[in-house]
Homo-oligomer: A and B are copies of this chain.
């Protein structure tokens, strides 16, 4: 099967396979009715031995745990979740490209039942992200409607939490499409660069690879960005965490969006204005982040 689904079933939270074409969540599941839960999207790739595995699974499970704690959800058991992922990956038939997107979802479950809903859905990577690895992305700048400091003392705003309540992020993506763009960079009301709806913003200026600070700004720490920065430091490519404004991106030597599935996507235009591009550097960043497969 090219789509496989697994669940942690019942009070014992036993990993089990399920039919992805059959319903799995009840109408009164708070994940469905309230967006009350959290998720992770991971890349599944083929290892040197030809067996599929989940890339950076430990980091994703750590972030799922952090999201769950911030939402007062029961902490996900990393052993159970790793077993669930292994079960799903093993049952999966990789497509020709050899890669998949694994979505882990944890909801508060049925109202009042006190048992979370835990799902792992593995699918081929969509056509758009595969294409955008090659073509890059045109981005629109949109306001997040919040000052960059909004989240500092307000944990109920769920800053840095990858919650299932992604409706606003999806609406921002639709607004970009309406403008002929592929993606979005969100700006705070005070004009600081925050993040993209499903990826982290990176830029290269003065020989330094930079991203935005997450403290207080509500930005999600990117697993791909973090892995890339770790590898960059090893490769003697300087990195920095810095605030930036739109003009800093427009004046940079390169801008990218980093995410687990699409990888390192070059930003080609910001609000229609071409951005400087450096294909050698893009190749290097892709390699450092583990996206060194030939571009499909």
Q: Which residues of A contact B (CB under 8 A)?
A: 3, 5, 18, 20-37, 39, 71-72, 103, 105, 107, 119, 121, 123, 142-147, 150-151, 154-158, 163-172, 174-175, 189, 218
Task: List B contacts of A163 (CB < 8 A).
Answer: 35, 167-168
Using CB atoms, name the residue of chain B closest to A172. B156
Structural contact, B167 and A33, CB atoms closer than 8 A: no
Q: How long is the Cα–Cα vector from A146 to B20 in the complex, in angstroms?
A: 39
| B-side contacts of A29, CB under 8 Å | 25, 32
Q: Which B-chain residue is minimally distant from A5 (CB atoms)? A: B27
Considering residues A22, A27, A34, A37, which has the most beta carbons from chain B within 10 angstroms of its beta carbon?
A27
Q: Which residue of B lies closest to A184 (CB)?
A: B156
Query: For residue A21, which residues in chain B have a CB less than 8 angstroms away from its CB?
Result: 26
B34 adjacent to A32 (CB under 8 Å): no
Check A24 against B22 for contact (C-beta < 8 Å).
Answer: no
Instruction: Check A34 against B167 for contact (C-beta < 8 Å).
Output: yes
Shortest distance between the CB of A175 and any CB in chain B (Å): 4
Given contacts A35-B165, A156-B168, 12 further A-B contacts (CB under 8 A): A24-B25, A25-B29, A31-B32, A34-B166, A34-B167, A35-B166, A146-B146, A146-B189, A155-B175, A158-B171, A163-B167, A163-B168
Complex interface: chain B residues within 8 A of A170 (CB): 30, 34, 36
- Residues A105 and B27 in contact, CB atoms below 8 Å apart: yes
CB neighbours (8 Å) of A34 from chain B are 35, 164, 166-167, 169-170
The docked-state distance in angstroms from the alpha carbon of A39 to that of B157 is 21
Partner of A33, one of B103, B142, B218: B103
Shortest A169–chain B CB gap in Å is 8
Which residues does chain B contribute within 8 Å of A103, judged by CB atoms? 27, 33
Q: A142's closest neighbor in chain B, by CB? A: B156
A200 to chain B, nearest CB (A): 19
**A31, A32, A105: most-surrounded residue (chain B CB, <10 A):** A32
